[in-house]
Structure 1
Amino acid sequence: MSGRHFSVVICAYTEDRWEDVLAAVESVRHQSRPALETLLVVDHNEALLERLGKEYQDAGEEVRVLANAGPRGLSAGRNTGIAAARGDIVAFLDDDAVAERDWLRWFDEAYDDPRVVAVGGRTVPVWASGRRPVWFPEEFDWVVGCTYRGLPPGQVRVRNVLGGNASFRRGAFDAAGGFATGIGRDGDKRPLGCEETELCIRLGNALPDAVLLIDDRAVIHHKVPVARERFRYFRTRAYAEGLSKALVARSVGAGKGLETERRYTTRVLPAGVARGLRDFVLARPGGAGRAGAIVAGVAVAAGGYVRGALASRKGGGFSYGPIGDPP
């Protein structure tokens, strides 16, 4: 085992996920490659902060409960965790996910290469209903925060990692700053995202020789509640992704901000539509629905992007969430 130390940050915001948060923490505590600490950052919820504080009051430095020191939202919560982290690698795990036993082990192995500054893993959906809805295309699993069809298998170099299953060298934040607080989830009902994409592109600009990887052996299992299995959420999340991508393009330019998305929409999605139509012809369940969902998802996301691009011209914006002193 290397001499690297891992700090794992889990951001929580609602007591509705109480059992999920406890399961996430336990999955970190049982890693084959132990973490130095788990940092539970609570997003402006005093009742949850107090309850978690009592739950882990005897955990010492192994589990620390912190209040989000910035504005409401996931980005500021993560920045709070980064500021408090004592490890030289900071990993992030969603509050409604559990990591497999070797999750940190595979992350750690990748950092043997000194060029590597970030490593992500594979996020597998756990459907509340017991199985994937037949109409839900794997190409759109990012809608529910999971690894989507179209990413190459194995350990591969990528533009950005996915924030709910990711790790960064501590020095990455020194070079690029923290997560942008005007992008991503902020407690509003609209499910925005892309804060990790924007950070990773900034990181690549700050460190041109840096390598960012996804290792699909670093697996977490992410719960998908029934409400997110419905087409209404699918449509809302796709629209929000378009809005978020417009903010990213504004921040880092459309060239890098949409580079991966161009390949995705011109190669991965047409192949998905073709598979859906083939399944329809072969009378396989959900084929037409999957093809239609892909077309609808692209159209809705494009509408969100156009609206976001127009809105961004009117001003407003976001900050890069500098990493300050720990709370």
Structure 2
Amino acid sequence: MSDPDISVVICVYTEDRWEDILAAVSSVRAQSRPALETLLVVDHNAPLLDRLAKEYKESAQVRVLANAGPRGLSAGRNTGIAAARGDVLAFLDDDAVAERDWLRHFAEGYTDPRVMAVGGRTVPIWASGRRPHWFPEEFDWVVGCTYKGLPPGRVQVRNVLGGNASFRRSAFDVAGGFATGIGRDGDKRPLGCEETELCIRLTRARPEAILLIDDRAVIHHRVPETREHFGYFRTRAYAEGLSKALVARSVGTDKGLESERRYATRVLPAGVARGLRDAALARPGGAGRAGAIVAGVLTAAGGYVVGTLRTRRGAPAFSVAEIEEGGA
């Protein structure tokens, strides 16, 4: 498949992101390598569905669909998968814009028939105009962005990151769709890892499959002011621990935590050391970054322990109230 047709799926859920949604679609329309179509999947929000349908009623390239499954990002993506016509499906967050060559770099990855998924690099756009001094780059996954510790270039990985990723259609034929109950449900549950679970299932079903990240396939992701605070950082880290427990239950701890072991034993200690060195040199935020890394690790570990114990008892891994309080 040297020149695959690519369908772009953007899952949306709130009118609060109206301008962001329009910007995301515009960035797809401006691609140097055109998309076959753009699918906007609306998550159980009838007014938003109607408004988008009117906005794009004259467009042959943009289709507006209602999420056909339960509320949440995974079911929305599965709705897009079922409706898309492309050989490759690319996923873009509703509060992100893609650089002009985003799809071109994705398409280049599929010249090798063994490649089943290609992800890209996600750069934060901070609402305050700059990264908070205390916020470590090693934890940029907290705000849905590429984090320090991922290798540069085009490299083989265990899993792509869902807000900036593409898959061959045949990947879903082999592995099925995204698992519901793991990923996000609007803003209520800041969970994740649904793409991790899918990628592990995919490589188990097709051991020869290659999954890539190409850091030239860049999108810019908006980080709202509410996510620039330590309270959200802590909440999201705890939710990540719960999510990892669900993934480990689904695919086993060996694969479910394979990348996380390297991250925890190599990337994060190096980040703490850099933060302490910066503090010793009186550079802004050094001590805060070191402290945030330690706090993030402990909070995520606590979420993982709680989620593991609950799933072993057959209880839900989380409650909405608990996640909203960050595990307190």
| Shorter-chain TM-score tier | over 0.9
Q: Report how far residue 188 of structure 1 moved.
A: 5.7
TM-score by length of 2: 0.95
Q: How does 1:1-327 map to 2 (within 5 A)?
A: 2-60=2-60, 62-187=61-186, 189-315=188-314
CA contact (8 A) 2:310 2:316 kept: no
In 1: Cα distance, 2:186 partner to 2:274 partner: 37
In 2: Cα distance, 1:118 partner to 1:186 partner: 24
Task: Determine helix, strand or coil for the equivalent of 1:283.
Answer: coil
In 2: Cα distance, 1:225 partner to 1:25 partner: 19
In 1: Cα distance, 2:298 partner to 2:166 partner: 32
In 1: Cα distance, 2:315 partner to 2:277 partner: 46
Unmatched tracts of structure 1, length 5 or more? 319-327
CA contact (8 A) 1:239 1:301 kept: yes
The letter for the 2-side match of 1:200 is C
Q: Report how far residue 314 of structure 1 moved.
A: 2.5
Q: Report how far residue 123 of structure 1 moved.
A: 0.1
Q: Would you identify which runs of 4 or more consecutive aligned residues in structure 1 move more than 6 Å?
A: none
CA contact (8 A) 2:2 2:110 kept: no
CA contact (8 A) 1:98 1:222 kept: yes
In 2: Cα distance, 1:306 partner to 1:317 partner: 13
In 2: Cα distance, 1:26 partner to 1:186 partner: 25
Deviation per residue, 1:177-202 (Å, 9 max, x gap): 00000101023622000000000000
In 2: Cα distance, 1:224 partner to 1:188 partner: 14
Distance change >3 Å, CA 123–CA 191, structure 1 → 2:
same
In 2: Cα distance, 1:108 partner to 1:46 partner: 34
The letter for the 2-side match of 1:179 is F
The letter for the 1-side match of 2:108 is E
CA contact (8 A) 1:153 1:216 kept: yes
Q: How many residues align?
A: 317
The letter for the 1-side match of 2:216 is R
CA contact (8 A) 1:117 1:212 kept: yes
In 2: Cα distance, 1:231 partner to 1:188 partner: 17
The letter for the 2-side match of 1:47 is P
Deviation per residue, 1:81-115 (Å, 9 max, x gap): 00000000000000000000000000000100111
Distance change >3 Å, CA 188–CA 34, structure 1 → 2:
closer
Q: Report how far residue 315 of structure 1 moved.
A: 2.0
Q: Report how far residue 3 of structure 1 moved.
A: 3.3
Unmatched tracts of structure 2, length 5 or more? 318-328
Q: Report how far residue 207 of structure 1 moved.
A: 0.4
Q: Report how far residue 44 of structure 1 moved.
A: 0.2
Task: Determine helix, strand or coil for the equivalent of 1:58.
Answer: coil
